[in-house]
């Protein structure tokens, strides 16, 4: 090894043995102190903690768990381009840490498939996985569920090896339609999520709510991204049949709707009202102020983590295989207003 190599070599991690040597006690005693177990005098405890701080010792919970035959890792697959997924992950970290678990993330990107993202988690000694809005086939998800405890988040899928946490999507769309009808809107278009998870449930909710009010539904193909919302509005403009209100599949799609309307000189909400779905952190920004159906990301994350841990520790709990449903609510901001046509 050259001098340059030695200078850049990573520092060795401080061990229990290092703390014991410096404190002049046994490694077993240091282990007792660090685990909070009885058997050490107050003086020895104080000395061990002081030396540990001086040496910068950090307990290696991962190594301890592995020695016990546990990794205490929860794997999470998510789509990196989805703002709502970021909100969910924040809640997952908080809930997992409170339960004594660590989190391993595996992202789906334009160049990284769900198969790759899930396969990485399966190879990483995770005790359970949480799959956020997976688009993989039911058969592949069931195969994953057969290998280790699996929680599917934000998708309607039924299989005895899968635990599901989802929003009441149909109710959420009903809330949005009711709000728009209450403002006097009758020509309400739904820009849907195409083949995205939850898209079919939201289409059904929209149709049912429109029928309840005696209104004719109209669905325009969209998707989960801004570009899909933009393309849907461009289609409506080209057809010369712009509605008075647009209900988008999710917040990014709604942002695409907003930007294209504004770019076309159409004022929101004076001429067209717009509603999203999810209530991501972006929706509340002052320059957007999006009226949206709120999915409680924190509640869904806590429920998913709780189910994942329950499946790990109590695999025979039948309650974990019934859908956990979170009821959404409507957050009214500045993109909806009275119909003036």
3-state secondary structure 172-218: HHHHHHHHHHHCCCCCEEEECCCCCCCHHHHHHHHHHHHHHCCCCCE
- How far, in Å, CA of 51 to CA of 40, rounded? 15
Name the band, by pLDDT with cuts 50, 70 and 90, for residue 130: very high
**Fold designation for 169-296:** Rossmann fold (3.40.50)
- How far, in Å, CA of 189 to CA of 242, rounded? 9
Q: For position 6, what pLDDT does the model report? A: 42
The segment with the largest mean pLDDT, out of 4-13, 36-45, 71-80, 278-287, is 71-80
Percentage above 90 pLDDT, the chain: 68
pLDDT tens digit sequence for 296-334:
999 999 999 999 999 998 766 777 778 999 999 999 999
The DSSP 8-state label assigned to residue 280 in this structure reads -
pLDDT at 4 over 70: no
Do 23 and 47 meet the contact criterion of CB atoms below 8 Å apart?
yes
**Extents of the domains making up the chain:** 16-59, 72-167+298-326, 169-296
pLDDT tens digit sequence for 139-180:
999 999 999 999 999 999 989 899 999 999 999 999 999 999
Q: For position 189, what pLDDT does the model report? A: 98
Mean pLDDT of 262-288: 92
Do 235 and 228 meet the contact criterion of CB atoms below 8 Å apart?
no
Q: Kindly state the tokens that stand for 319.
A: 């309650």
Options 3.40.50.720, 3.10.20.90, 3.40.640.10, 3.40.50.2300; CATH for 72-167+298-326 is 3.40.50.2300
**53 prior amide bond cis, ω within 30:** no
Please report which residue ranges of the chain form alpha helices under DSSP H: 3-8, 16-23, 27-35, 42-55, 61-67, 83-98, 114-122, 138-147, 169-182, 199-212, 226-239, 251-263, 297-313
Q: What is the CATH number of domain 16-59?
A: 1.10.260.40
Q: Kindly state the tokens that stand for 50.
A: 């002081």
pLDDT tens digit sequence for 110-128:
999 999 999 999 888 899 9
pLDDT tens digit sequence for 57-102:
776 655 555 555 567 899 999 999 888 999 999 999 999 999 989 9
254, with CB counted inside 10 A (0-12, 13-18, 19+), is buried
- How far, in Å, CA of 308 to CA of 320, rounded? 9
Give 64 or 214, the one with higher predicted confidence: 214
Same fold flag, 16-59 and 72-167+298-326? no
Mean pLDDT of 19-43: 81
Per-residue CA distances from 76 to 61, 120, 144, 154, 304 (Å): 20, 10, 13, 13, 10
Do 114 and 134 meet the contact criterion of CB atoms below 8 Å apart?
yes
């Amino acid at each position: 090894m050259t001098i340059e190599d030695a200078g850049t070599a990573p520092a060795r991690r401080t061990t229990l043995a290092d703390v014991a040597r410096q404190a002049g006690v046994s490694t077993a005693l240091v282990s007792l102190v660090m685990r909070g177990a009885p058997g050490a005098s107050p003086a020895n405890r104080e000395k061990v903690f002081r030396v540990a701080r001086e040496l910068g010792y950090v307990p290696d919970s991962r190594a301890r768990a592995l020695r016990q035959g546990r990794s205490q890792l929860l794997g999470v697959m998510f789509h990196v381009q989805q703002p709502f997924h970021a909100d969910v992950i924040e809640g997952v970290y908080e809930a997992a840490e409170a339960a004594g678990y660590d989190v391993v993330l595996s992202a789906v990107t334009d160049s990284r498939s769900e198969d790759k993202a899930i396969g990485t988690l399966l190879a990483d000694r995770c005790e359970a996985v949480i799959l956020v809005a997976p688009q993989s086939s039911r058969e592949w998800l069931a195969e994953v569920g057969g290998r280790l405890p699996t929680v599917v988040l934000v998708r309607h899928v039924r299989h005895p090896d899968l635990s599901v946490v989802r929003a009441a999507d149909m109710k959420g769309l009903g809330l949005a339609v009711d709000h728009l009808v209450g403002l006097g809107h009758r020509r309400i278009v739904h820009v849907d999520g195409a083949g995205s998870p939850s898209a079919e449930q939201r289409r059904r909710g929209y149709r049912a709510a429109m029928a309840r009010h005696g209104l004719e539904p109209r669905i325009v193909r969209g998707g989960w991204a801004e570009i899909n919302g933009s393309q849907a509005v461009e289609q409506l403009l080209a057809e010369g049949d712009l509605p008075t209100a647009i209900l988008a599949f999710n917040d990014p799609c709604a942002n695409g709707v907003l930007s294209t309307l504004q770019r076309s000189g159409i004022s929101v909400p004076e001429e067209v009202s717009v509603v999203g779905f999810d209530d991501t952190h972006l929706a509340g920004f002052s320059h957007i102020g999006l009226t949206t159906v709120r999915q409680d990301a924190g509640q869904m994350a806590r429920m998913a983590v709780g189910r994942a841990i329950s499946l790990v520790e109590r695999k025979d709990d039948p309650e974990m295989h019934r859908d956990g449903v979170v009821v959404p609510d409507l957050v009214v901001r500045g993109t909806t207003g009275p119909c003036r046509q």
